[in-house]
Structure 1
Amino acid sequence: MLLPGERLVARGPYRYVNHPNYIVVIGEIAVLPLCLGLPWLAVVFTLLSSPIKLMMDRLVCADGGNPDPTLTDGKDAALAKQIELDGWSYPRHLSGRSFSVIVHGDVSGAADVRRSVSDWLRFMKLTPAGAASEVDRYIGYWEPYATSHQAFDDDKAMQDEVRNAARSLAEAVAQKWFGACAEPGETLTEPRRK
């Protein structure tokens, strides 16, 4: 939240994180394991969450919704809004890159989550890495949580589908890297930028 007439803090730890809540979340991730007397788990969870947070920040900005911070003196929200209203082009920074999405569940919603994430990535002009790159499956459908890890370990076909999705993504990236894979329609002009 930003009070009217105030600027976002861009010094101290906020030079490195975009929102004070991120520091709170990192603290929350660390506090639960510490309360349970598991300091090593606090470190592991905190370290594991950081790359995920950075990836999500990059994806949220990937459709160009945030003006270039060099134009806004870092974090001047009013200036960023004005740049957008003056005709920001919404550059899609990750346009043309390939993606793969794998979702599994044990009750319901796996297909809806996969479809939502895939639709969002397509909206940002990312490209699915082939038919094998989008997977949604149920593992241990309505079985007890106590046996869910075993159900996953036993589902060799699901493991192979995950490997195929990863291979499909690797192939798509390699093809694009060497210029062998052009996206149909990539030169068309969009009638609606946002």
Structure 2
Amino acid sequence: MEARVRALETILTQKGLIDPQAIDAIVETYETKIGPRNGARVVAKAWAEPDFADWLRRDATEAIASLSYTGRQGEHMRAVFNDAQTHNLVVCTLCSCYPWSVLGLPPVWYKAPAYRSRAVIDPRGVLEEFGVTLSPDKKIRVWDSTAELRYLVIPERPAGTEGLDQAALADLVTRDAMIGTGLALAPEARP
């Protein structure tokens, strides 16, 4: 796939149809400014500031917008919080509705028909394939994103993070944790 992308970019560049620097700037923007780091900062703020977490529960769209994370496919948001009893999982069964402004570009598997159907039919099995094994008594709630409403999972805050600042907390939050196919990292796993 990588070789195909490079070949296509080379051909389009040679024909004068694209500017490689413009492509690099777009990719860099989605990876660092519009990517999952935005969502990780939202989660870290919710973990660190109970008032922000309450606002996020009541009106995720406004709470997230207060951090300037708005834009295409992130206009209407709802935050769902994992806790000791419930694990949340997000899917878009119809297509691939995904909050780009908070999570960046959607992963390929998120758009795949297998994930879109199996996440609803067998969420526990899908989570196990992602390496997430939950206790049998933990409820799994599946949320179906639509063009009108997209979801952000707020994972459980890992133990042993009480002394970490928001930047360090954000380092524990992965894109998959904010979709529900992963968990927040333990402090010792922090990069």
- TM-score normalized with structure 2 length: 0.24
Query: RCO higher in 1 or 2 (8 Å CA, sep ≥ 6)?
Result: 2
Query: Which is richer in helix?
Result: 1
Report which of the two structures shows the higher radius of gyration computed on alpha carbons.
Answer: 1
Query: Which is richer in strand?
Result: 2
